Amino acid sequence: MTREQPIQSLREILGKVSHQSPDELCRVGAEIRDAKQGVLTRYQPVFSRENLGGLTAEDFRGFLLFRNNHHWDSLHRLGGWMSADMPKLREALKVLLDEGVDIRTGLNRLRPPTGDPMVKGLGRAVITAILQVVYPDKYGVWNNTAENGMQRLGLWPDMPRGASFGDRYVVMNRTLLEVAEELGVDLWTLDMLWWRVEPHMPKGREAEEGEEAAGGEETPSRPVPTGVFGLERYLQEFLVENWQSVGMLRDWELLEEDGEIVGSYYDTQEIGEIDLLGKRRDGKAWLVIELKKDQTSDSTVGQVLRYMGWVRRNLANRGEVQGLIVCREMDRRLQYALDGQPNIRCMTYDVSFSLNDAPRVEYP
pLDDT digits (tens, 9 = 90+) for 220-249: 333 444 444 445 557 777 788 778 777 778
Q: For the chain, which ranges sit under pLDDT 50?
A: 210-230
pLDDT at 220: 35
pLDDT at 159: 85
Mention every residue, 6+ apart, whose C-beta is less than 8 A from residue 34.
Answer: none
Domains within the chain, CATH numbers bracketed: 4-205 (no CATH), 225-348 (3.40.1350.10)
Cα distances (angstroms) measured from residue 339 to each of 92, 333, 336: 49, 10, 5
pLDDT at 6: 92
Report pTM: 0.76
Cα separation, 243 vs 151, whole angstroms: 33
Q: Which of 222, 208, 202, 142 lies closest to 175 in space, CA to CA?
A: 142
CA gyration radius, the chain: 22
Q: Which of 66, 254, 211, 36 lies closest to 145 in space, CA to CA?
A: 66
Find the length of the chain. Answer: 364
pLDDT at 17: 92
pLDDT at 63: 96
Cα separation, 347 vs 326, whole angstroms: 5
pLDDT at 211: 36
SS3 7: helix
pLDDT at 209: 52
**Burial label, 288 (beta-carbon count in 10 A; 0-12, 13-18, 19+):** buried
Q: Which of 159, 179, 163 lies closest to 171 in space, CA to CA?
A: 159
